Copies of this chain bind each other. A is one copy, B any other.
């Protein structure tokens, strides 16, 4: 950690600061510039409160050098973490496709889509039972009943399932869920992170809409520091000023995270834009950027349908996309198994 001290600062305040730092067991290297004095803190600074130091009158600025995350940090764990989901591996040179509908609607729908996406090449089934909705008046998902339908689809198809947990009180229902998803809006719901950190289940941690890569890794750290190393990161778009898309998919996060962490990273191309026709190109783009997998919404029209041929990705479009992905995988040293 680097602390830049203001020019002409009060010597007594500076002495107070340096002796406080040394009491935390840190060494101080000093560098005196023409207009500033710089303190370099050497040692484990992960518990030092940057905001507190920044608020001091004599401090001009503070910069962390050491990343504040440890368990998620590739520096201290150079090999890729492999998260095993019922035999399907995330990380290393593996590539996984999770697919399924936005919401579970009824038995016929979820089993129909499960069979369709399995036939097209998906390994894991997704489906929303508890749905985070901006409006209290919008459909909130079938809840516990939706979860039962999803488990039935798991039984029928043999596919592991991935679904979102919205609050601690529902955790008991998730015993047979294979991947617990923490949604973007809960990425900094720290109590919920601690709760899933106490399980050993694979956790799909979506990036918050306005969260930096470092904050995202700190949320992974919350889960890992409770004892659960099975975290899969999922980029799903960030908030920007561009109004055409709901969110802007930040694919550069993929190669960046490759350096910063050993955790697997996947991409959700369906929720970022909110535009169905962008799913296929952004999926291929994600593969090019080096993702470890994709989580894709697939709709099965007939049982749902508002209008014929309406929503996409339909199973046949999904199948076509999977074929293209398979051609690309060798280029990025990945394989689907």
Interface positions of A (Cβ within 8 A of B) = 2, 4, 7, 10, 12-14, 16-17, 20, 29, 31-36, 38, 40, 42-44, 46-47, 49, 51-52, 54-58, 61, 63, 65-66, 68, 75, 132-139, 166-169, 185-186, 188-192, 194, 208-210, 212-215, 218, 221-222, 225-226, 238-245, 248-256, 259, 272-278, 281-290, 305-312, 324, 327-328, 331-332
Contact = CB atoms under 8 A, between A and B. Distances in A.
B213 A244 contact: yes
Nearest to A193: B136
B252 A245 contact: yes
A31 B29 contact: yes
A303 to B, nearest CB: 15
Contacts of A68: 134-135, 137
Given A2-B38, A34-B44, A136-B194, 11 more contacts: A13-B310, A16-B307, A29-B32, A55-B275, A58-B310, A63-B63, A213-B242, A238-B242, A284-B288, A285-B289, A286-B288
A75 B155 CA distance: 49
B290 A288 contact: no
A192 B51 CA distance: 28
Nearest to A46: B137
A12 to B, nearest CB: 7
Q: Which of A58, A135, A214 has the most chain B CB within a 10 Å cutoff?
A: A135
State the number of copies, please: 4
Contact of A4 (B65, B242, B312): B65
A31 B40 contact: yes
Q: Which of A35, A133, A136, A166 has the most chain B CB within a 10 Å cutoff?
A: A136
A135 B221 contact: yes
Contacts of A215: 134
Nearest to A327: B331
Given A49-B138, A210-B209, A7 B75 contact: yes
14 contacts: A16-B308, A17-B307, A46-B135, A46-B137, A52-B306, A55-B312, A68-B135, A136-B218, A248-B248, A251-B282, A255-B282, A281-B290, A324-B331, A328-B328
